[in-house]
């Protein structure tokens, strides 16, 4: 069973930066698409950034495009960490951030971000951006 653990969430001022990390245990995730999902207060969860197995294809929601960067550590022995670099943060970026791995082969990162079904999910890390 794959377990995903997010870290790096914090309270930050608008315009600031944070880097979130998502580390998997129980199995390597180097052959899974992985994504970051955000749930703002009172809103549905949305996929904001997803990356394919190789790290060569990424999908970004329009709300974060140009400010957030997703990457994965495919050079390490474990290949089990995915990052979300968040720059120029805005108050509307506030929410709980989850990472999730898609175990189904062949799907695009955009598909995983748009319609995540099943998969392996973490418990989330809170990001709060003050104005």
Give φ, ψ of 42 to 5 degrees: 75, 5
Whole-number pLDDT of residue 31 = 87
DSSP type of residue 104: S
Whole-number pLDDT of residue 3 = 95
Query: Could you tell me the mean pLDDT of each successive run of 10 residues in the chain, 131 residues long?
Result: 95 98 91 95 96 93 98 76 97 98 86 90 98 94
Strands 11-13 and 125-130, by their bridges, are parallel
Short-list 127, 37, 129, 16, CA closest to 82:
37
């Amino acid at each position: 069973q794959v377990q995903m653990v997010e870290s790096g969430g914090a309270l930050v001022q608008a315009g600031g930066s944070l880097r979130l990390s998502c580390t998997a245990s129980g199995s390597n995730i180097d052959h899974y698409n992985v994504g970051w999902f955000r749930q703002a207060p009172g809103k549905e969860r949305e996929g904001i950034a997803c990356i394919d197995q190789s790290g060569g294809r990424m999908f970004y929601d329009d709300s974060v495009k140009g400010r957030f960067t997703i990457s994965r550590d495919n050079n390490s022995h474990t290949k089990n960490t995915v990052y979300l670099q968040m720059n120029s943060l805005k108050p509307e970026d506030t929410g709980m951030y989850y990472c999730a791995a898609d175990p189904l082969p062949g799907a695009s990162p955009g598909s995983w971000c748009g319609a995540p079904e099943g998969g392996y999910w973490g418990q989330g890390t809170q990001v709060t951006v003050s104005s």
